[in-house]
């Protein structure tokens, strides 16, 4: 199996821009992240939930592709 990286970015819930966090600062549950584009405050927990959903979707899609490729090889 080849390497595949999954890209999940935290996105602003208001304008969909990628959120740029301070990398030195660890984000904790309940933190608010200010969007640099629209300056709305995003609730870290909500943003994280969206990112997790997106990540799961990518992994699922990737797994489906790999399994169908495997099946094609097996039943050639």
Residue 46 or 68: the one with the smaller Cβ distance to Zn ion is: 46
Query: In angstroms, rounded to a whole number, what is the distance separating the alpha carbons of residues 40 and 27?
Result: 17
- Least separation in angstroms between residue 1's CB and Zn ion is 37
Residue 10 or 35: the one with the smaller Cβ distance to Zn ion is: 35
- Least separation in angstroms between residue 57's CB and Zn ion is 22
Dihedral of the CA atoms 56, 57, 63, 68 (nearest 10)?
160
Q: Which residues would be at the binding site for Zn ion (CB under 5 A)? A: 12, 14-15, 17, 35, 37-38
């Amino acid at each position: 199996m080849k390497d595949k990286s999954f890209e999940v970015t935290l996105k602003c819930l208001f304008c969909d821009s990628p959120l740029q966090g301070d990398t030195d600062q660890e984000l904790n549950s309940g933190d608010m992240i200010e969007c640099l584009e629209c300056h709305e405050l995003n609730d870290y927990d909500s943003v994280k939930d969206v990112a997790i959903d997106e990540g799961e979707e990518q992994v699922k899609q990737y797994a489906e592709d790999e399994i169908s490729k495997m099946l094609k090889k097996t039943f050639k």
